[in-house]
Structure 1
Amino acid sequence: MDAADNEATEFIIHDTMVLTMDGARNAYESGYLWVRDGLVAGVGDATGLEALPRGIPRRSAAGGLLMPGLVNTHGHLSNGILRGIYDEMPLAVWFERGMWPVLEALDEEAGAAGARLALLEQMLAGVTTTLSAEFGTPNPRLADGVLQAISESGMRAIVSRMTVDSAVEGLASQAVPRKYRERPVDACREVERLQQDWCSERIAIAAEALGVLRCSAEMIEAMHDLAMRSRMLFTMHVASSREEHQECLQRHGRGCIAQLAEYGVLGEGTLLAHVIWLSPEEVRQLAAAGAAVSHNPVANAYYASGHGDLGALLDAGIRVGLGLDGASTNNSQNPWETMKAAILDQKQHAGDAAFGSAELALELATRGGARALGMEVQVGSLEPGKKADFIVIDASRPALAPRQTLVSNLVYSHDPGAVRDVYIGGERVVRDGVHQRLAHDEVLAGANEAMARVLERTGLDGYLATRGGWRWHRG
């Protein structure tokens, strides 16, 4: 890292196109961004540079496009090392070795290794704010490993501690083994510990009850109450599969969203991930309560979980952001792929080629994501007073040509390697495509070693060795 580069508290980026993603959709063919003390001090057309103090250091971004950093509203950073193991996995293997045994093997060290890998991929692709949901049991220090990796990386992040306690025997995929259950009072204590140990200018903690079926009413209400008292985000995985939806109807006589409304936990401080299986009435309940949704189109397709009706959510005025989900359920951590998938999935299911636009996808991945996380005052657009979280894209990449359709090309034909520089709070954490805090080779080596340990502990190494029709020759 060039120390002088990141010690500068004030500078101007110029010689670049600028997409502000502000409410008026201001965009500048030749613009500038003025950064001071980690915040946006000004943004505008290059003609305004003459009015700025001449003593401010200037950095040329010639041939670039500058825009807000991307916001990922849902994921599991620790799962970075689990990429690829769940591809087309038979249910018998999933239940025996794929779910709970993997979580048991995912300790603090493995979680940190997975998080470093996922963070490296996300940040090189332009993500500057991310949410990561991490299991609190059976390894209570898993979240600490992830938070350590986040702190090292410089990412702006929210980490939720997922908790489960349901003893109800029902749908196998929603059943919780005893050793993973915890009491609401213990779960609250652990969330408070994480908040005390890790909260900073860039890191926040959130409370999460994993799901309607995996958590009791007492746990869901306890997590929500804690979040509201502590002014933190409350989040859940909800209505993510047909089986979950049907089981909820059987147990409670209503859908997942309606059940959460019954508990009184829907509100402006609530973020729900997936939200695929819901009725029109539940859409209205979400909108009336002011709750937000993280839409995860690639992960939904990966497990054939169903089609999330993005159009219906947006039409109802619900705050929606995009989620990458974990590398175990995506498998990519490429936000540009998720943007494209979000729009194309809706076109296909609606039978309407005119649905959405590249502009809508960019909105969801920036300003929309910030609104969903309750962070729109801080990030999501380039406006004076907001955090100086932004990216510079090399607009000369072949995938982004021709220049006349550059905004469309960003989404529909993007090359994630086109992201040249990434700034968070005015700090250049990625420079010329190289992360300035995380050592690329060390991150990959750590991920490979951690993955090998997890596979050996779970017995999945043997499963992977025989998966598919490949005849590997290892001399």
Structure 2
Amino acid sequence: MILIRGGRVYDPAGDTDRPAIRDVLIENDVIVSITTPDADHETKQRVEAEAVRGVGQVIDARDTLVLPGFVNAHYHSYDTLAKGLIEDAPFDLWALQTQPAYYGRRSKAELRLRTLLGAMECLKGGITTVQDMCTLVPQDEETLDTIAAAYAEVGIRVVFALALRDLGDLDIAPFLPTDLSPAVRRAVTGSPRDAAEDLAFAEAQIRRLPSSGLWHWGVAASGPQRASDALLEGVSALSERYELPIFTHVYETRAQAAKARRIYGPHGGSMIRHMDAVGLLGPRTTLAHGVWIAPDEIATIARAGATVAHNPLSNMKLKSGVAPIRALKAEGVGLALGCDNCSCGDCQNMFQGLKMFCLLAGVADPEPTGVHALDAIEAATLGGARALGLGGVIGALAPGRQADISLVRLDTLAFTPFNSAARQLVFSETGAGVDTVLVGGRVVVRGGRLTMLDETAIRAEIEDVMPAFRLDFEGLRRTSLEAAPAFIEALRRLDKVDIGLERHLARR
């Protein structure tokens, strides 16, 4: 058993400025009780005695805030090695340099290390669960097994979904000039895939590696506009058959909204209504980004019970625009929070996301927005848990929940003076104060250091694989530079397309 003694235990229904001091008792992987320090004295004495014999553990949580582990509700593990390589690139130019299909087969060492790297950063920042929407290249069992083994090695909880698409062209393709070079045209058009074959592979893997322990399955379509109706209907059918959550990118960019107006005529140009028509929109569905959702579509999402996973860092870096968080909250849409790719947010840091969740909601409106620190924390915990199909399992500190827990130090400048645990967590903490992290009742971070891996050794191994990765990246960068004039021209054309709303705050 593990006893977390004397910490301020965060309870969204209690005092969120100065949470009560409580003891948390964990048996195996589950929270057994949360009690006052003077309660259940006999059991606590027994755990302390067991700790002396090395059987149990007592974690001194004085001067810490005890939180549910954060849930990274939208993430891709495939490009963690591209951290810091891309700047000032709009979405589609970024995509030319990052998508797995452009890189081809990677070594098993690289697959393992890139998976470990993202998970390590998550854990050290208090993220205990990630939703990895992963594109396998090649799409085979060996690639999947290497990634799954890496997740087990680092000890993080993962909801894994194969990102399926059978239409290869980039979202911006309809708006590009026609005089593209052969290399750029190949990159823009991509390669179509067989929907039935990919769905069969996904189902076979769900059956072969069933959800167990820290490994959970979801299903995913990369985006409705990148998939045939057959693929979208197949993803929906898999979700129903295995009771799995659905993940997809929706309205991340203006180009995607403009394309939707063209291709979804029977549904009024609405990606959301098209999803609804093919059975992809429901309470199991999470829509990543949702920047360019129209007001009437927000109401449809709310009625369907779907969730929007907000990704403020990548939305800003890729110049995608500001998501309508205030309107989504007002309509009652479930909200989660994601850190997205390492190549377009450059970190897996939920604290940056928490702060931007609140600040961006009010950047275009001088009046109070009603989007507060408590909302951001809920999106990063219980909102994310619900989005991942784990609403009754993680995301809150309560008896019967999985012991996915983070301890954040309160004896730091971020919490000095100590006025509000919730607001200072969101607006002051950077992640440097994360001291101890448990996943499924196992301590995976202690004193700010990982317990399952040798960080120094992993960093050295990463440096060994980077020369080959950088060489391949430079080839894609050259293609991106060649494509840039045409892409910029397409963006300027898109500026003139009336899509019925605006999500960029300042126009030239």
TM over 0.5: yes
Distance 2:84 2:148 in 1: 23
Task: Verify: 1:54 aligned to 2:55, yes or no.
Answer: no
1:204 paired to 2:219: no
Deviations 1:276-320 (A, max 9, x none): 111121111111111111111111111111111112112222211
Q: Residues of 1 paired with 2:91 and 2:237: CA distance?
A: 36
Kept in 2, the 8 Å contact 1:184–1:219? The answer is: yes
Q: What is the match of residue 41 of structure 1?
A: 32
Q: Tell me what 1:218 maps to.
A: 230
Report the counterpart of residue 151 of structure 1 in structure 2. Answer: 152
Deviates more, 1:132-141 or 1:329-338: 132-141
Relative distance call for 1:180 and 1:444 in structure 2 (3 A) is: farther
2:364 counterpart SS class: helix
8 Å contact kept, 2:123–2:437: yes
TM-score, normalisation: structure 1: 0.88
The 3 A distance-change label for structure 1 pair 146 and 372 is same
Q: Aligned-pair distance for 1:400? A: 2.1
Cα drift, residue 93 of structure 1: 6.6
CA shift, 1:48, in A, is: 2.2
CA offset at residue 355 of structure 1?
3.6
CA displacement, residues 35-73 of structure 1 (integer Å, 9 cap, x when unaligned): 112111111322324364531234322221211111110
Q: Distance in 1 between matches of 2:473 and 2:229?
A: 32
Check the 8 A contact 2:6/2:22 in 1, yes or no: yes
The one of 353, 361, 371 aligned to 1:338: 353
Give the percent of matched residue pairs that are identical in Structure 1 and Structure 2: 23
Asked if 1 retains the 8 angstrom alpha-carbon contact of 2:104 and 2:138, the reply is yes
1:319-334 aligned at under 5 Å gives the runs 319-334=334-349
Is 1:401 aligned to residue 427 of structure 2?
no
Structure 1 match to 2:262: 250
Select the residue among 290, 314, 317 that pairs with 1:302. Answer: 317
Q: Does the C-alpha gap of structure 1 residues 106 and 324 become closer, same or farther in structure 2, counting only changes over 3 Å? A: farther
Matching of residue 360 in structure 1 with residue 351 in structure 2: no
Matched AA of 1:225: A
User: Residues 142 and 82 of structure 1: is their aligned pair in 2 closer, same or farther, counting only changes over 3 Å?
Assistant: farther
* SS of match in other structure, 1:123: helix
User: Retained in 2: the 8 A contact 1:19–1:26?
Assistant: no
Partners of 1:211 and 1:237 within 8 A in 2? yes
Shift in CA distance, 113/181, structure 1 to aligned 2, threshold 3 Å: farther
Is the CA contact 1:370–1:376 (under 8 Å) kept in the aligned structure 2?
Answer: yes
Distance 2:403 2:171 in 1: 48
**For 1:93-242, what aligned pairs fall within 5 Å after superposition?**
98-99=98-99, 102-104=102-104, 106=106, 108-140=108-140, 141-166=142-167, 171-172=172-173, 180-195=191-206, 196-197=208-209, 199-242=211-254
CA distance, structure 2, for counterparts of residue 173 and residue 413 of structure 1:
44
SS in structure 1 at match of 2:437: strand
User: How far off its partner does 1:374 sit?
Assistant: 2.1
Closer, same or farther: CA 67–324 of 1 in aligned 2, 3 Å: same
**Which deviates more, 100-109 or 133-142?**
100-109
SS in 2 for 1:349: coil
Q: Distance in 1 between matches of 2:272 and 2:433?
A: 39
Q: Is the 8 A contact 1:122 1:334 kept in 2?
A: yes
Distance 1:241 1:80, change over 3 A: same
Segments of structure 1 that go 5 or more residues without pairing to the other structure are: 1-9, 467-475
Equivalent-residue separation in structure 2 for 1:166 and 1:144 (angstroms): 26
Aligned partners of 1:113, 1:305: CA distance in 2, in Å?
A: 30
Deviation string, structure 1 residues 154-188 (Cα, Å, up to 9, x no partner): 11111110111126797328998787532222212
Compute the RMSD of aligned alpha carbons: 2.8
TM-score (norm: length of structure 2): 0.83
Check the 8 A contact 1:28/1:45 in 2, yes or no.
Answer: no
1:447 CA drift (Å)? 2.8
Kept after mapping to 2: 8 A contact 1:69/1:129: yes
Q: Mark the CA change 1:81 to 1:346 in structure 2 (over 3 Å): closer, same or farther.
A: same
What is the deviation of 1:378? 0.3
Question: 1:381, 1:226 → 2: CA distance?
Answer: 28
| Alignment correspondent of 2:86 | 86
Per mean C-alpha deviation after superposition, the further-off stretch among 132-141 and 96-105 is 96-105
SS in 1 for 2:24: strand
Structure 1 CA distance, aligned partners of 2:171 and 2:293? 20
User: 1:51-103 CA distances to partner (integer Å, 9 max, x unpaired)?
Assistant: 64531234322221211111110001222111122212488975765546644
Give, in whole Å, the separation in 1 of the partners of 2:425 and 2:97. Answer: 40
How far does the alpha carbon of each residue in 1:378-434 deviate from its partner, in whole angstroms, 9 at most, with x for none? 001111111011011111111221122333111101131211100111110111111
Q: Could you say what secondary structure the match of 1:77 adopts?
A: coil
**1:39 touches 1:425 (CA, 8 Å); kept in 2?**
yes
Q: 1:26 to 1:163 in 2, by over 3 A?
A: same
C-alpha distance in 2 between matches for 1:90 and 1:407? 34
